Structure 1
Amino acid sequence: MNLLIVDDDPLVCESLELLLSREQDLQVVGTASNGAEAITFCHRIDVQLILMDIQMPTMNGIEATKQLMQLYPNLLIIMLTTFHDEQNIKLALAAGAKGYLIKSTDVTKMAHSIRSVASGSSVFDPRVIETLLTPKENILSELSKREQSISQLVAKGLSNKEIATQLFLSEGTVRNNLSTILDKLELRDRTQLAIYYLQNKESD
């Protein structure tokens, strides 16, 4: 099986290339330092499976996975990263990754995981499974009354201007509070905030 290793740390690439090449049925055909390089490489060389880091310059692993799956639907991608937070896991799976491993994974287990994915299975590090199964703590109660009011109005679909008018605030104050709310809840945008608020409001 032809493997491509994608990581912005040259030592990680070199180590994995050396160790995985010892497996008779696995051949590392190249390495790339970011997602854009990975896409270019796949245009030139037949790659069957990619071990993909997430945090990389130029293009991260999740965006690269998304684009590669559109270009090469049969390509297999396993995320290999130090991050196992819920957001990255879900984004990676939504992009089309077939597995999610942590970099500290033993190489023998990694090789076994590669073969499992090649045979049609999905593979996840035990820590990843634990993250997915552990209920996310509802921390709406930790927001100030103003932040809770803004969250509620966002969930109702109001714009910043409409929220400012209703709460007698400036739009700038609403924007600043919204940024703080997203940081506290570890969310990306107002859409995620609306969904989170609607899912958790009853338990507060």
Structure 2
Amino acid sequence: MRVYYFDNISGDQRLLHDSGIPVDDDILTSIGVRHWHIPVPVPTTGDYPEVDAVARERGYKNRDVITITKEGLGDLYEAKLKSFYEEHMHEDEEIRYILEGSGFFDVRECPTDKWIRCALDAGDLLVLPAGIYHRFTLDEKNMIKAMRLFKDEPKWTPHNRSEATDANSYRVEYLKSIAVN
């Protein structure tokens, strides 16, 4: 996974938008973001012992696999990409293990509110804490296949950033957990 500050230059969200300023792992840790690189077994057997170990450690009981492509989503493709790219938070951790393809998760740094871009490829596993503002997009390859892990039943209700989400109890707890007031 390559991590850097987003350049904030307008244009296609699927471009690198690399400011040239890398982000140190300590910064990711300070905002609660965790990541690992776990090579995807070839051939893919469906067995992922290292991912299973992370899942057990974090209390994940369920999982599924999602593939995002223009062909797979058809006419919904552009609308889905746009909705994924809206700044939002979840009331659960968001964990993704990239099986194929690539894409970007952008996360908000606290307290600066700068965007940090996480460029993910096959084998990258990313955990975003509940309450962190983030967004997702594919890159120019327009394809990603990812395993999603869940603590309980899958629920991914996005709460778009607003005054209401700023006061959401999960957001407030998140800010307390990273010692930002």
Please tell me the TM-score bracket, short chain as reference: under 0.3
Report the structure number with the largest CA radius of gyration: 1
Higher relative contact order (CA 8 A, sep 6+): 2
Higher share of residues assigned strand: 2
For normalisation by structure 1, the TM-score amounts to 0.21
For normalisation by structure 2, the TM-score amounts to 0.23
Higher share of residues assigned helix: 1
